[in-house]
Amino acid sequence: MITIKISDLLNSTDALSKLAKINLKARPAFYASKLIKAADAEIQEFNDTRLNLIKKYGEKDENGELITDDKGNCKIMPDSVSTFQQELKELIDVEIELNVDKIKIEDIENIELTPEDMTILEKFINFEDD
């Protein structure tokens, strides 16, 4: 079981994506795959909830459709910005549990990861000998 804040999970997406593209032996590849699937499911749930917040607090046109700028970003109603930001912060700070085992360090010790990748991935790695 891995306990992690949504913010840390969101910050780990690039490193997890890199891990997904590395050739691993069967056992560590299996655990990495389970981890990535669990992380993706939680990120999708976060994105759905964030979208609901945007729909709730976003400015809408006369047809009730969200107003977006040329980059596709939605503008939040001026009187709701503070509330939106507070709710989003609370959402990002939620601690979740991924029902997967950590990857053993010995299973990935021969792959090339940057120190930055390792720092980000350390929440998903078991550094202890069993």
Task: Give φ, ψ of 71 to 5 degrees.
Answer: -100, 0
pTM assigned to the model: 0.84
Q: Supply the range of the domain harboring residue 16.
A: 2-126
| Amino acid 130: pLDDT | 56
Report the domain count for the chain: 1
| Average pLDDT, consecutive stretches of 10 residues, N- to C-terminus, the chain (130 residues) | 94 90 87 93 96 94 89 91 96 96 86 86 83
Please say whether the beta carbons of 94 and 116 come within 8 A. no
Residue 1, SS3?
coil
Read out DSSP for 51-102?
Answer: HHHHHHHB-B-TTSPBPB-TTSPBPBPGGGHHHHHHHHHHHHT-EEEE-SPP
Please say whether the beta carbons of 29 and 107 come within 8 A. no
